[in-house]
Amino acid sequence: VIDKFDYVFAENGTVQYKNGQLVSKQAIQDHLGEELLQDLINFCLNYMALLKLPKKRGTFIEFRNGMLNISPIGRSCTPEERIEFSELDKKERIREKFVAALQREFAGKGLRFSRGGMISFDVFPEGWDKRYCLNVLDDERFDTIHFFGNETTPGGNDYEIYDDPRTVGHSVQSPQDTVQRCREIFFPERANE
């Protein structure tokens, strides 16, 4: 995939490719330091150990280059369990309460928290949201930068870049919706294909 595009930005833009070549890669552990990182991970593990959910599966904390992805049910849940947790989360605000506890515990530590998908939320250093890539693109002086995302409301992991004045934000519901919107915007003569 990285060879098909001029730029590819992974993990909120902290892993950057240009013309198929790795240009830059940031590491959350280098930025936060091991002590804060372990305090954060330990807090999350303790919090989740006390959560009583209908089901818990594996991979509760996924360590990525630019963030931690926290999933109270566990990322290895089935699609059906994902939907079940999402419905429960809408009623009981499990992730919202978890994030509020993290915000209290780590106030002033330079961390941000954002909702991601149906079962998780992301934790990353201040400034490492999806706008991170715009600093690189600013140097290229593009006329227009379009962004497509599904979590575009406040608190969602797409909100900041969707709402940034340097982008034209598009809220989409699925990959198919994204393809359709791209056809309508960039290839209007093929929009009905």
User: Annotated binding site for alpha-D-mannose 1-phosphate, which residues?
Assistant: 64, 75, 82, 118, 120, 122
Reported as half-sphere exposure (CB side, CA atoms, 13 A), residue 27 has a value of: 4
Q: Which residues are annotated as a binding site for Mg(2+)?
A: 150, 162, 164, 167
d(CA 11, CA 24): 12
Q: Three-state DSSP class for 2?
A: helix
Q: Which residues are annotated as a binding site?
A: 64, 75, 82, 118, 120, 122, 150, 162, 164, 167
- Edge-to-edge strands of the sheet including 68-70? 61-63, 68-70, 120-125, 111-116
Contact at 8 Å (CB) between 17 and 2? yes
Nearest of 96, 109, 105, 31 to residue 70 by alpha carbon = 96
Q: Which residues of 32-57 are buried (b: 16+ CB within 10 A; e: fewer)?
A: beeebbeebeeebeebbeeeebeebb
